[in-house]
Amino acid sequence: MKDVEDFEVLQLLSAIEYRWGYDFTDYARSSIKRRIRNTMIRHGIKYISELTPKVLHDQSFFQDMVKDFSITVTEMFRNPLVWKALQTEVFPVLRTWPYFKIWHAACATGEEVYSMAILLDEAGLLDRATIYATDFNDIALQKAKDGVYPKKVMQKAKDHYQAAGGAACLSEYYYEDGEVVRMKKKLRDHIVWANHNLTVDRVFGKMNLILCRNVLIYFTQPLQNRVLEMFSASLTQNGFLCLGDKETLDFTSVSSFYQPVVSEKRIYRYINFDSLQLITPYE
């Protein structure tokens, strides 16, 4: 007997792509089902098929649902030793360029983007940098752009900041405002926020460093390859790529174009720029 639930999922994903242009068909199916169930629980819906007419005809429902599809797990200085490795292995190379660009792909609510800006400032590199931070979730992007976070999360952030090799006091980079903190303007001035969907959108600029951490694990292998090919087409010669600790370039379509810089921290350097055919994916 065929799985009716799988059919319902395919029907729902097709409706989302047809109506709104969001393609989730190459997300790992277990992850998709889990996120669909979250929506169903919140709205008291029994069958997946009941979601299809809602996403076709109710924009506000779809916008609420897409929040469950977005990967918003992030925090400041997450995995501190990765940030320490970036400072010791990547920042010295960034210092050799008069101007450089960094792309935080799938940045969620932006905590890691501000982490980067803080460490660049401490290294005396922020004025040379433009940081592009992108996500397809406009609600998360707006929160990131506002740079307002609960005050209670900052203690953990301070601990991670120190473990990452922070050289000053983290409180120098934000203002306290009641129960929230507001990131300072000097950080926000170097960040460009934009909507970008890794599954369907294309290369939009040449970058010296790209970070996309713990996002590819939610994609099927073909989609991982397409996204990694886009990242490769987006990197300058000898640029850097930083992935999440559960991700690797091994056995991907781009593995031969990179050499590990700190392999256990998933930091790679793009070394085969000329041999990659720079054709934008999805054409």
Domain ranges for the chain, please list them.
4-69, 80-275
Assess contact for 226 and 254: CB atoms under 8 A: no
Q: How confident is the model at residue 273 (pLDDT cuts 50, 70, 90)?
A: very low
Q: What is the mean pLDDT of residues 158-165?
A: 94
pLDDT at site 2: 52
Closest by CA to 219, choosing from 132, 138, 105, is: 105
C-alpha span between 183 and 171 (Å, rounded) = 9
C-alpha span between 190 and 239 (Å, rounded) = 20
- CATH number of the domain located at residue range(s) 80-275 in this protein: 3.40.50.150
Closest by CA to 254, choosing from 236, 238, 275, 239, is: 275
pLDDT at site 278: 46
- The set of residues, in sequence order, having a beta carbon less than 8 Å from that of 225 and lying 6+ positions away, is 252, 253, 254
Q: Residue 281: is its pLDDT beyond 80? A: no
Q: Residue 279: is its pLDDT beyond 50? A: no
Q: How confident is the model at residue 23 (pLDDT cuts 50, 70, 90)?
A: confident
The label of the residue with tokens 């781009």 reads 254
Q: Residue 252: is its pLDDT beyond 80? A: yes
189 φ/ψ angles, rounded to the nearest 5 degrees:
-65, -20
pLDDT in tens, 182-196: 999 999 999 999 999
What pTM was computed for the model? 0.86
pLDDT in tens, 123-160: 999 999 999 999 998 889 999 999 999 998 888 899 99
The label of the residue with tokens 């050799």 reads 96
